[in-house]
A = this chain, B = another copy of it.
Amino acid sequence: MKKIISFLLFSFSVSFFIHAQNQDLAEEAFYVREIYNTALTQGQCHQWLEHLTTNIGGRLSGSPQSIAAIEYTRQMLDTLLLDKVYLQECKVPHWVRGEPEQVKIVSSQKLGSVDLHALALGNSIGTGAMGITAEVIEVKSLEELEQLGQDQIEGKIVFFNRPFDPTQINTFAGYGGAVDQRAFGASRASNYGAVGCLVRSVTPSLDYFPHTGGMSYETGSIQIPSIAISTKDAALLSSLLKEEPIRVYMRNTSQMLDDKTSYNVIGEIMGTEKPEEIILVGGHLDSWDVGQGAHDDGAGCVQAMDVLQIFKRLNYQPKRTIRCVLFMNEENGLRGARAYWQASKESGTLHLAAIESDRGGFTPRGFSCDGDPSTFNEKFKKVTRWLPLLEPYGIGLKKGGSGADISGLKNPDGLLFGLLPDSQRYFDVHHAANDTFDKVNKRELELGAAAMASLVYLLDKYGLD
A-to-B contact residues, CB < 8 Å: 2-3, 5-7, 9-10, 12-14, 16-17, 20, 36-37, 40-41, 166-167, 169, 171, 204-205, 363, 365, 392-394, 422, 424-425, 428, 441-444, 447
Jot down 19 A-B pairs with beta carbons below 8 A, ordered by A.
A2-B16, A6-B17, A6-B20, A7-B17, A9-B9, A9-B13, A10-B10, A10-B17, A36-B167, A36-B169, A41-B166, A41-B167, A169-B447, A205-B442, A363-B422, A363-B424, A424-B444, A424-B447, A425-B441
A205 to B440, CA, bound (A): 13
A17 to B2, CA, bound (A): 8
A12 to B14, CA, bound (A): 12
Closest to A15 in B: B6
A204 to B40, CA, bound (A): 10
In contact, A16 and B6 (Cβ under 8 angstroms): yes
Q: How far is the CB of A314 from chain B (nearest CB, A)?
A: 14
A5 to B20, CA, bound (A): 11
In contact, B40 and A394 (Cβ under 8 angstroms): no
Tell me which residues across on chain B come within 8 A of A40, comparing CB atoms.
166-167
In contact, A37 and B167 (Cβ under 8 angstroms): yes
Q: Which 4 A-B pairs have the closest CB atoms?
A: A9-B13, A6-B17, A10-B13, A6-B16
A14 to B3, CA, bound (A): 11
Closest to A8 in B: B13
Tell me which residues across on chain B come within 8 A of A204, comparing CB atoms.
443
Q: How far is the CB of A168 from chain B (nearest CB, A)?
A: 9
- Indicate which residue in B6, B169, B393 contacts A13 across the interface (CB closer than 8 Å): B6
Tell me which residues across on chain B come within 8 A of A205, comparing CB atoms.
442
Tell me which residues across on chain B come within 8 A of A444, comparing CB atoms.
424-425
Tell me which residues across on chain B come within 8 A of A425, comparing CB atoms.
441, 443-444
- Indicate which residue in B6, B20, B424, B443 contacts A443 across the interface (CB closer than 8 Å): B424
Tell me which residues across on chain B come within 8 A of A6, comparing CB atoms.
13-14, 16-17, 20
Q: How far is the CB of A407 from chain B (nearest CB, A)?
A: 26
Tell me which residues across on chain B come within 8 A of A16, comparing CB atoms.
2, 5-6, 9
A166 to B39, CA, bound (A): 10
A442 to B14, CA, bound (A): 40
- Indicate which residue in B9, B20, B37 contacts A12 across the interface (CB closer than 8 Å): B9
- Indicate which residue in B3, B171, B365, B443 contacts A171 across the interface (CB closer than 8 Å): B443
Closest to A12 in B: B9
In contact, B169 and A392 (Cβ under 8 angstroms): yes
Tell me which residues across on chain B come within 8 A of A442, comparing CB atoms.
205
Known: A9-B16, A10-B10. 4 other contacts (CB 8 A): A40-B166, A41-B166, A171-B443, A365-B394
Q: How far is the CB of A220 from chain B (nearest CB, A)?
A: 40
A205 to B392, CA, bound (A): 23
Known pairs A5-B16, A447-B424; A393 contacts B363 (CB<8 A)? no
A16 to B441, CA, bound (A): 44
A7 to B299, CA, bound (A): 39
A70 to B25, CA, bound (A): 53
A6 to B171, CA, bound (A): 37
In contact, B166 and A443 (Cβ under 8 angstroms): yes
Closest to A381 in B: B7
In contact, A2 and B20 (Cβ under 8 angstroms): yes
- Indicate which residue in B3, B9, B424 contacts A441 across the interface (CB closer than 8 Å): B424
Tell me which residues across on chain B come within 8 A of A7, comparing CB atoms.
13, 17
A41 to B204, CA, bound (A): 11
A279 to B442, CA, bound (A): 38
Tell me which residues across on chain B come within 8 A of A166, comparing CB atoms.
40-41, 443
Tell me which residues across on chain B come within 8 A of A2, comparing CB atoms.
16, 20
Q: How far is the CB of A15 from chain B (nearest CB, A)?
A: 9
Q: How far is the CB of A246 from chain B (nearest CB, A)?
A: 26
Q: How far is the CB of A280 from chain B (nearest CB, A)?
A: 26
Q: How far is the CB of A359 from chain B (nearest CB, A)?
A: 14
Q: How far is the CB of A405 from chain B (nearest CB, A)?
A: 26
Closest to A204 in B: B443
Q: How far is the CB of A453 from chain B (nearest CB, A)?
A: 15
Tell me which residues across on chain B come within 8 A of A424, comparing CB atoms.
363, 441, 443-444, 447
Tell me which residues across on chain B come within 8 A of A5, comparing CB atoms.
16
